[in-house]
Structure 1
Amino acid sequence: MTTASVRLPEHLIHPFAPAGRADPHPAYRWLRANDPVHFDAASRLWLVTSHADCATVLRDPRFSAAQGQRERARDDELPPSMLTTDPPDHHRLRAPGALLLGPAAVRPLGAGLAADVDALLDALPVDRPVDAVADLGRRLATAVYARLFGLPAAEFTRFEALARAASVNLDPMVPPARAALGRSAAGALTHYLDRHTTRLLADGVAVPLTALAADDRLSRAEMLGILNLAVIGGWQPLAEFIGNALHLLLPDRAAVARLAAADEDAARLAVDELLRLEAPIPFTARVTTDRVELNGGVLPAGARVLAVLTAANRDPEVFADPDDLRLDRSPNPHLGFGGGPHFCLAAPLVRQTAALLLPRLVRRFPALRGPAGAPAWDQCLVPRRLRAFPLELGPAAPDLAPAPDLAPALRCPHPGFEESR
């Protein structure tokens, strides 16, 4: 084991460099094989790339998430939430957060979300290309949050604009000018959610948001911090995942056919595999509170660490043929939703909403095609997303049989995944 600074070979582009962001996987593959606990001199961060070591970073209490957020390459503070705290404060906030995003909160939404997906597909124009990012992903994410937050249709455009603007706060290395815009947008989003919550409570509207707002375990600032995190850390990744997934799926026509024929369980497996290969959240930050010895090297106390989840998700020690798309991969212990105490609270909702959309989409439009050539990846590091992904729908399938009802899948997390209590 070594913690000495190692340089990438000259033929590999640094994954954080503008030219390396479109395809960071070769660099991560080399690091995972040659220097899995790597001190990056440019960013002054330790990059952890193996699955076993990333799992330790996510679960070991010597890795502080609260300090990890404070040590971002940013000078702003995020609002109080599960993301910015360690146990026991984390557990105190997470329990009420389940009122917004936990299985019991989203279970009653299942039938409505299935109807939203069908309405979204019904509205797609077949005489011109549609964008998987703007016309599918963002609209799906907004429909989901409309049900969670009790948003009227007249508010969709405003909410989506605020969510998109505030999502810049996901990127720990965004340039200063954009960081300032992100701070302003996050403040505007919080102000909007504050007023919206007040209106819903006054009107007696019963949705997951008002259940959270009525919980007396939280201060108003803590409640708004959880709402803010739910939008910034949930709306944008869900919106971007659809484009990422279709980029992976559509070139493999056999995989498209399998997904079109998928039942509930197969659809969920497919979504997990697509998340494994291109999850919108590629890494997460921690700071060590003590010296930690990992399989791949030793981290000193006070080390600023990135658990590179996208590298861990292609570790050949865990995944056979790790760069291949296998829609039926099981088990699939990917880290696309994190792990340990900070395992994504919205994971069941995100996973199953995508499992509602993707099979219905390829079933409805069997000739669906994506663009030729390399996709246009955005330059931001987090979320990992496509700038656009134009789709040719082709004709809708004639005499389309009713899609299998996947709404009951919202009733519980996927049994193969850990969810912290």
Structure 2
Amino acid sequence: MTKPAVELPIERTPGCPFDPPAELTRIGAEAPMTPLIFPDGHEGWLATGHATVRAVLADPRFSARSELMHSPTLEYEGVAPPADPGVFLGMDAPEHIRYRKLLTGKFTVRRMTQLTERIEQVTAEHLDIMERHGGPIDLVTVFAQPIPATVICELLGVPYEDRERFQHDAATIFGADTTTPEGQYEGLKAYEALMAYVRGLVADKRTEPTDDILSDLAGGDLTDDELTGIGGLLLAAGLDTTTNMIALGTFALLRHPDQWAALHAEPDLVNPAVEELMRYLTVVSVLARVALEDVELDGHLVKAGSTVVLAMAAANRDPAKFADPHTLDLRRGPAGHVGFGHGPHQCLGQQLARMEMRVAFPALAARFPGLRLAIPADDAPLREKASIYGVTELPVTW
């Protein structure tokens, strides 16, 4: 018997900034798939089970095309537009594969490992800035944001002196309220501003190429629109996701002093620590896919055209997959989380993000083992209704 449809829970429990909404956890405990009613009246599905989420993400019968989807948080007028050229996250094969193949070789484990020394240098520079300034400071603007910003700028060939402009646009794109028309409009304007900036950058790379990814791509047969889409996607996603993982990850560690102490005492703990933080926090907490044909899933018939909302945060807390899932345990080890997604759209820059976190967290703990929040934990401003979860600022001292 099919359960009654629910609405997507968004509100997190006060005082529990690292946990998914309690109602979402309750729904997931009852079944891995639940009928979901959308704001526009569409009847789709909510997937909360780890195995179910992975199955949908890996199945080519489910589409990532944005123009086919219904929003679980906002009622659109009409349908969403197709993804812009080059913005391959909102595309299916063969377009998605064509773009991704152009980039895969530029984000391999080996190439990201070669960046380690530079990431260590950038991290040390910003730890020095923290030390000279003294507390309290905002960890987001002084540490969490500039590390990935510097690295992605150098990879793409973006002038670092322009960082304030695109950092603001990226933070607005992914940090705007996804539940209101005003928030949607704010995010759209920031997206347009970022793409306008990247379009000018593409023109520069066409005439004066340098040693970077965007210049390499400009030497191929991509159009200016495609290059702009790819560059804007890499710049925004490569900055905002890792920024929020470093900031929110530090917040979580400071709220679990035993884990913070363990990271300081055991440098070799860093690799499993990064994977556990990705699982525990899941900053990209929701994705969506659309059934291209009727699909049997978990004993339910998902009809063609149905949008399936994938509760990534709930999947990463699924007790059927993870023992004691609501506990932050840096010694948990590799656990098959979906913090970077799964399947053909799995995060292209995951090795870069891993490397930045593997450097940033232990370096911060080693330099400031007495780091602590400079405000009450409940006062930390959260991006609760944003597409990428995190904190807008994190005052700390030591």
Q: TM (normalized to structure 1)?
A: 0.83
How much has 1:132 moved relative to structure 2? 2.6
Alignment partner of 1:382 is 2:387: yes
Runs of 5+ unmatched residues, structure 1? 9-13, 395-421
Work out whether 1:117 is the aligned partner of 2:123. Answer: yes
CA distance in 2, matches of 1:214, 1:198: 12
Mapped to 1, the partners of 2:36 and 2:51 lie a distance apart of 20
Structure 1 residues 210-289: aligned runs within 5 Å: 210-216=215-221, 218-263=222-267, 266-289=269-292
* Secondary structure of residue in 2 paired with 1:222: helix
Which residue is 1:407 aligned to?
A: none
1:329-386 CA distance string (max 9 Å, x none): 2231000110000000000101110111010001100101124343432232311112
- Note the alpha carbon deviations across 1:277-334, whole angstroms, 9 max, x for none: 1121001110011222222643222111111110000111111110111112223100
Distance 1:3 1:327 in 2: 38
Distance 2:340 2:299 in 1: 22
Q: Are 1:86 and 2:82 matched, yes or no? A: no
**One-letter amino acid of the counterpart of residue 304, structure 2:** A
Q: Are 2:66 and 2:82, in contact at CA under 8 Å, matched by a contact in 1?
A: no
Residues 144-167 of structure 1: CA distance to partner in whole angstroms, max 9, x if unpaired?
222112233422222322322333
Task: Provide the C-alpha distance between the structure 2 equivalents of 1:53 and 1:301, rounded to a whole number of angstroms.
Answer: 17
Q: Specify whether residues 41 and 166 from structure 1 end up closer, same or farther in structure 2 by C-alpha distance, changes over 3 A only.
A: closer
Q: Distance in 1 between the 2:82 and 2:172 partners? A: 17
TM superposition shift of 1:76: 4.5
Q: Distance in 1 between matches of 2:249 and 2:212?
A: 30
Indicate how the Cα distance of structure 1 residues 17 and 372 shifts in structure 2: closer, same or farther if over 3 A, else same: closer
Q: Does 1:162 align with 2:169?
A: yes
Q: Counterpart in 2 of 1:182? A: 187
Gaps of 5+ in 2: none
Matching of residues 113-152 of structure 1 within 5 Å: 113-125=119-131, 127-152=134-159
Alignment of 1:5-404 (within 5 A): 5-7=4-6, 15-17=9-11, 24-43=20-39, 44=42, 45-67=44-66, 70-72=69-71, 73=74, 74=76, 75-80=80-85, 81-98=87-104, 100-103=106-109, 105-125=111-131, 127-168=134-175, 173-216=178-221, 218-263=222-267, 266-295=269-298, 297-370=300-373, 371-374=375-378, 375-392=380-397, 394=398
Q: 1:108 to 1:352 in 2, by over 3 A?
A: closer
Deviates more, 1:350-359 or 1:34-43: 34-43
State the secondary structure of the residue aligned to 1:192.
helix
Of 336-345 and 69-78, more deviation after overlay is shown by: 69-78
Contact 2:61–2:293, Cα closer than 8 Å, also in 1: yes
**Aligned-pair CA distance for 1:27:** 1.5
**Percent identical across equivalent pairs?**
29
Amino acid at match of 2:201: H
**CA deviation profile, 1:78-115 (whole Å, cap 9, x unmatched):** 32322111122211110112255444554543321211
Superposed displacement of residue 7, structure 1: 4.9
- Structure 1 residue 249: deviation in Å? 0.9
Q: Distance in 2 between matches of 1:259 and 1:274?
A: 12
Q: Aligned-pair distance for 1:17?
A: 4.6
From the superposition, tell whether residues 76 and 176 of structure 1 become closer, same or farther in structure 2 (CA, over 3 Å): farther
CA distance in 1: counterparts of 2:337 and 2:113, whole angstroms: 24
Counterpart of 2:228, as a letter, is: L
Higher mean alpha-carbon deviation, 224-233 vs 339-348, is at: 224-233
The number of aligned residues is: 383
| Segment of structure 1 superposing worse, 247-256 or 52-61 | 247-256
CA contact 1:35–1:296 (8 Å) conserved in 2: no
Alignment partners' CA distance in 1, 2:279 and 2:108: 22
Please give the TM-score of this superposition, normalised by the length of structure 2.
0.88
2:10–2:21 contact (8 Å) kept in structure 1:
no
RMSD: 2.5
Summarize the Cα distance change of 1:182–1:78 in structure 2 as closer, same or farther, 3 Å threshold.
farther
Return the alpha-carbon distance in structure 1 between the equivalents of residues 3 and 67 of structure 2: 22
Distance 1:344 1:359 in 2: 23
